[in-house]
Amino acid sequence: MKVVRMSDELFLKRAAEEDGCMISAVGLQPLHAKKAEPVQQAGEPVRFAFSTLISYRRRALRMTMEDVAQKAKVELDELLEIEENSSYIPEVRTVHRLADLLKLPIPQLLVLSGNAKAATAELTEAAVRFAARSRAVEKLNPEQSDALNEFVKVLVEQKEKEAKKK
pLDDT at site 134: 77
pLDDT at 3 over 80: no
What the chain holds in terms of domains, given with CATH numbers, is 44-165 (1.10.260.40)
Global model pTM greater than 0.75: no
pLDDT at site 26: 44
144 contact partners, CB below 8 Å, separation of at least 6? 56, 133, 134, 135, 137
pLDDT at site 18: 56
Write the pLDDT tens digit of every residue in 54-94.
999 999 999 999 999 999 999 999 999 999 998 899 999 99
pLDDT at site 28: 39
Write the pLDDT tens digit of every residue in 106-155.
999 999 999 988 768 888 889 888 888 875 555 778 888 888 899 999 99
Distance between CA atoms of residues 150 and 166, nearest Å? 25
pLDDT grade for 30, boundaries at 50, 70 and 90:
very low
39 contact partners, CB below 8 Å, separation of at least 6? 114, 115, 116, 117
107 contact partners, CB below 8 Å, separation of at least 6? 116, 119, 158, 159, 162
